[in-house]
Amino acid sequence: MAAEAVRMLDPEVVSRLGALDFVARSLVEGFLVGLHRSPYHGFSVEFAEYRQYLPGESTQNIDWRVYAKSDRHYVKVFHEETNLHARILLDVSASMDATPEPGRISKLHYGKLLAAALSYLLLKQNDAVALATFDDKPQKIVPPRSNRRQLNHLLSVLHHTEAGAKTDVGRVLDRMAEMTWRRGLIVIISDLIDDPDRVLQGLKHFRHRQHEVLVMHVLDPREVDLDIGREAKFVDPEKDLDPIRTQPWHLRESYQQAIGEWRGRLARECRSHQIDYVPLLTDTPFDTALLAYLNKRSRLS
């Protein structure tokens, strides 16, 4: 189990994530005091260590006394900054497991890594992390915990997660929004391949229930650019649509236009409902993509 957990979390990825603080943008319910801008700010904070200030970070945590003594900027790091409840919803439908080019990382695997990294990060901050996998219905649900054992549990679940059946993102999100009564951070990792209206309806449902929603929209690069240089028979991994035999270069332009419109619409709708929409491609280095997002969050906070 431990070995699997280590494999799931690339040490390099973890070390780089450890240099960043995850700052929630919205107010969350909680009892603990952290760096968050919440009514419970500073509650139950336990000093952990100093570390060097990195340019771009908030200056709020700089220890000015240390600066006065050493003429260097150090930041105080606390073990328990908040008791944020984060729920990671990972799409494990068949479409997530499909890879247009053999040998490339699948969206599902990419999502697993992403979920693992987020879990580690959140748990490191003593946030409670829950995990739910779904296809056309919720599959495995790990209730939120904030202890160290939770990480191993989550990683183990992620490791044993297999691709499921068809996608019904909209309906599942609706159901899970109903099930989640406590406000917190909802991280959705999915390719969102479903009826866009229903997907957005599900996302809005979370917002309606006062959750902070972060949508990690994971796609394969080939699913975006259709850069496939041979005639091929395109099959629907979820078997809903009839296969299409075509020379993709003939359709590339119109396809890119269609997929762009789709992604644009998702981004616009999310932005209008204060949902963080993060488009990700599986060829983007996993850690780089996550760090870019967290940096952005840091600046936003």
Partner 1 sequence: MQFLNPALLFGLVAAGIPILLHFLSRRQVVEVPFAPLRFLQPTQEKQMRRMNLKRLLLLLLRILIIVCVVLAAARPTLTGRLAGLAGAGDGTSVVVLLDDSASMTAEMSEGTMFDRARDEVRRIARAMERGDEIAVLMFSDRTRPLFAEFVRDPGLIAAELGGVEPSARRTDYVGALEDALEWMDKAERPRREIYVVGDFQSTQLDSIALARWRGAAQQVTDTAVFLRPVTPEPFVNRQVDLVPRPSVLLRAGDTVELQTRVTQNGEEPIEAPFFLEADGTTVSETELVLPPRASARHRFPLTLQEPGDVGGSVRLRPDRYALDDESHFVLTVNDQVPVKVLRGVTGEEGARDPLLFLLTALDPERDGTGRFEPTVQLANRFDIEALAGAPVVLGADLRDLGGARLDALNDYVRGGGTMLLFVGDPRVRGYVNERLLPNWTSLRLGAFRGEEDVFERLEIVADDHPIFADLEDDARATLEEVRLRNFFRMDETIGRPLLRFAGGGAAVTEVEVGSGRVIIASFEASATAGDLPFSPMFLPLVQRLTGYLATAGWGRFDRDFEVGDTPVVEVRGAIDSEAQWTVVAPDGMRSAAELDASTRPARLSAPVAEAPGLLRFERDGRSIGTVAVNVARSESRRVWWSPELFRDRFEPEEGVRFTNLSGGSTDEAVQAARRGRPIHLWFLIAAGLLLVAESLLSRRVGPAPAV
Closest CA to 130 of 73, 188, 194: 188
The helix or strand, by DSSP H or E, that contains position 47, with its residue range, turns out to be strand 47-52
Report the residue from 98, 132, 275, 289 that binds partner 1 according to the rule CB under 8 A: 98
Length of the chain counted residue by residue: 301
Output the DSSP codes for 49-94. Answer: EEEE--TTS-GGGB-HHHHHHHSS-EEEEES-----EEEEEEE-SH
Residue 37 in the binding site for partner 1 (CB under 8 A): no
Instruction: Strand 138-145: give its sheet, edge to edge.
Output: 138-145, 128-134, 85-91, 185-190, 212-219, 276-281
Stretch that binds partner 1, among 74-82, 115-123, 203-211, 236-244 (CB under 8 A): 236-244
State in angstroms the smallest separation of the CB of 288 from partner 1: 23
258 binds partner 1 (CB under 8 A): yes
Instruction: Tell me which of 67, 147, 244, 288 binds partner 1, using CB under 8 A.
Output: 244
Residue 232 binds partner 1 (CB under 8 A): yes
CA-based torsion, 269, 271, 274, 280: positive or negative: positive
Stretch that binds partner 1, among 5-13, 78-86, 246-254, 265-273 (CB under 8 A): 246-254
Partnered with residue 91 across adjacent β-strands are: 134
11 versus 229: smaller Cβ distance to partner 1: 229
Q: If binding is defined by CB under 8 A, does position 249 make contact with partner 1?
A: yes
Please give the residues from 56 up to 75 whose contact with partner 1 meets the rule CB under 8 A. Answer: none
* Residue 99-138 contact track with partner 1, rule CB under 8 A, x = bound: xx------x-------------------------------
Q: How many residues lie near partner 1 (CB under 8 A)? A: 37
* 265 in Cβ contact with 92 (< 8 Å): no
The verdict on 219 binding partner 1 (CB under 8 A) reads yes
Which residue in 24, 116, 131, 226 binds partner 1 (CB under 8 A)?
Answer: 226
**Could you say whether residue 241 binds partner 1 (CB under 8 A)?**
yes
Tell me which of 21, 57, 174, 191 binds partner 1, using CB under 8 A: 191
Shortest CB 249 distance to partner 1, Å: 4
- From CA 30, how far away is CA 84, in angstroms rounded? 6
Cα-atom radius of gyration of the chain, to the nearest Å? 20
* 81, 42 contact by CB (below 8 A): no
Structure tokens at 83: 């008791």
| Residue 171 burial (CB count, 10 A) | 18
**Which span sits near partner 1 by CB under 8 A: 1-9, 59-67, 251-259, 271-279?**
251-259
Alpha-carbon distance of 189 to 169, in angstroms, equals 11
If the CB atoms of residues 7 and 250 are measured against partner 1, the closer one turns out to be 250
Nearest-approach distance from CB 265 to partner 1, in angstroms = 12
Nearer to partner 1, 63 or 236 (CB): 236
Q: Could you give the count of Cα atoms lying within 13 Å of 195 in the half-sphere of its Cβ?
A: 11
259 binds partner 1 (CB under 8 A): yes
> Which stretches of the chain bind partner 1, using CB under 8 A?
95-96, 98-100, 107, 191, 193, 219-220, 223, 226, 228-238, 241, 243-247, 249-251, 254-255, 258-259, 262
